[in-house]
Amino acid sequence: MRVQSNSHKGDSLSMKDPISFVEEKVKERAKETSNIKSAIIFDMDFKPPRILIRSELNKVTNDLADYVNLNLPRHIIIYGSKGSGKTLSALTIASAFKESKSIPFFYVNARENPTSIKIYRKLTRIDSRGHDIDEVKSKFDSMLSGKSIVILDEVDFLQDYDILYHLTRHTRANLILLTQKVYWYKDMNDESVKSSLQPDHIVFHEYSSEEIREILKMRADEGLNKYDKESLGLLSAMLVRDYRSDARIGIKALEIIGRLNEWDDDSVRAALKQAYVEVEGETLKNLGDRDLLILAALIKNQDTNRAYSEVSASGNMLLRGVSKSTFFQSVNYLQNLGLITLIKKKIGRYYTMESQILLSDESIVLGELRKRI
């Protein structure tokens, strides 16, 4: 008896007309995402026309208003955890001063441009190595000869302070420095920079559930066709309780729930967990293998000396021969990223540095490691 093969059935399924296949997929996805009114609203780089005017912005705006009226810079350092609105608030207020008072502003991220020379070149757009640094600085000074606002984000990644000294001594720019590290300025070892900077220190507190709810409501009004107000309240409360009021995670979770258009409690919890993995997972994806392994060691041993002992004894080729100074450079880098914080702890007569992990779900570190190693 001859048995007929069914392989042709599978072949026929995979040999659809490409145009029909694409059109079907577009219609299918359009139906699944029909509740999304404007996807750009949920982009992490989107700057909404309205923002939450938090109480700390009164001091920021007062300082900049004095700068406009008195022509004397009032430099500002804004401290705050990830997702506390530092960057969005600074850019929005600077944009408002540009529009209403014709004060230009410039923005640079110090993690992406960690040296003064890179910042000079970034702002002047003189990337060619053929230009002498004095020529670059000359153009830089001419750009900032009048009133202007310079925002340096993640300033704790700066590897030198020449840019701060130069801005405060040779230009009339008003600096806004953004950092997660509360002790960054205190730990700065350049007194000449401190003397000329003399900043106002402004701490952005973690958002309350009411503030988070207002932020998410703004995004929902602009980005979704339908949403459930009670679910926004649950989402806000859980974000404050479990995810350190990180607005980035809340906005991503709102997009996930909005796409599904399912607003029950289980959907809110699942969306928050997925959003957390996507937002924090992006940071982990950008870590080098050695930094990721050291982070895993710190999760296992919060005492940094014990963690280093484990790292130095590891048979992993990536960790072989890692010196103590290299290990602590990586630890400081992880702290700058907001993944850990270091606390001095006394044990007997001696002090040690203990790491506190700032990840709400430490398992994502092991998950990232499994993908790579």
Give the pLDDT of residue 253.
97
Q: Can you tell me which residue has the tokens 């801005």?
A: 167
Q: How far is CA 178 from CA 64, 109, 192, 194, in A?
A: 15, 9, 20, 16
Residue 2 has pLDDT above 50, yes or no: no
Q: How confident is the model at residue 128 (pLDDT cuts 50, 70, 90)?
A: low
212 shares its domain with 180? no
Mean pLDDT of the 215-229 span: 96
Q: CATH no. for residue 311?
A: 1.10.10.10
pLDDT above 70: percentage of residues in the chain: 95
Q: In what order do the strands lie in the sheet with 105-109?
A: 105-109, 149-153, 174-179, 76-79, 200-203
Separation of alpha carbons 373 and 371, rounded Å: 6
Report the domain count for the chain: 3
64 shares its domain with 185? yes
Give the pLDDT of residue 157.
94
pLDDT for 135-186, tens place per residue?
Answer: 888 899 999 999 999 999 999 999 999 999 999 999 999 999 999 998 899 9
61 shares its domain with 199? yes
Q: How confident is the model at residue 225 (pLDDT cuts 50, 70, 90)?
A: very high
Residue 12 has pLDDT above 60, yes or no: no
Give the pLDDT of residue 353.
86
Separation of alpha carbons 200 and 30, rounded Å: 49
Q: 267 with 227: CB under 8 angstroms? A: no
Give the pLDDT of residue 131.
72
80 shares its domain with 197? yes
Separation of alpha carbons 78 and 172, rounded Å: 20
- Which residue, of 261, 283, 305, is where some domain finishes? 283
- Name which of 73, 65, 70 is nearest 176 in CA terms: 73
93 shares its domain with 195? yes
Q: Is residue 245 part of a domain?
A: yes
Q: Is residue 220 part of a domain?
A: yes
64 shares its domain with 194? yes
- Given the DSSP bridges, would you call strands 174-179 and 149-153 parallel, antiparallel or unpaired? parallel
Residue 132 has pLDDT above 90, yes or no: no
3-state secondary structure labels for all residues of 223-255: HECCCCHHHHHHHHHHHHHHCCCCHHHHHHHHH
- Name which of 253, 245, 296, 254 is nearest 276 in CA terms: 253
312 shares its domain with 274? no
Q: How confident is the model at residue 130 (pLDDT cuts 50, 70, 90)?
A: low
340 shares its domain with 307? yes
3-state DSSP assignment of residue 174: strand
Q: CATH no. for residue 146?
A: 3.40.50.300
88 shares its domain with 161? yes
Q: Is residue 130 part of a domain?
A: yes
Higher pLDDT, 74 or 50: 74
- Which residue, of 168, 203, 238, is where some domain finishes? 203
Higher pLDDT, 24 or 251: 251
Q: Is residue 271 part of a domain?
A: yes
Q: How confident is the model at residue 321 (pLDDT cuts 50, 70, 90)?
A: confident
pLDDT for 266-287, tens place per residue?
Answer: 999 999 999 999 999 989 999 9
171 shares its domain with 80? yes
Q: Is residue 7 part of a domain?
A: no
81 shares its domain with 196? yes
Residue 206 has pLDDT above 50, yes or no: yes
Q: Is residue 10 part of a domain?
A: no
Give the pLDDT of residue 240.
96
Q: How confident is the model at residue 7 (pLDDT cuts 50, 70, 90)?
A: very low
Residue 30 has pLDDT above 90, yes or no: no
Residue 8 has pLDDT above 70, yes or no: no
Q: Is residue 318 part of a domain?
A: yes
Give the pLDDT of residue 3.
47
Q: How confident is the model at residue 27 (pLDDT cuts 50, 70, 90)?
A: confident
Domain encompassing residue 301: 287-372
Q: Is residue 50 part of a domain?
A: no
pLDDT above 90: percentage of residues in the chain: 73
Q: How confident is the model at residue 15 (pLDDT cuts 50, 70, 90)?
A: low
- Which residue, of 248, 283, 318, is where some domain finishes? 283
Separation of alpha carbons 314 and 348, rounded Å: 28
pLDDT for 322-363, tens place per residue?
Answer: 999 999 999 999 998 889 988 888 777 777 889 999 898 899
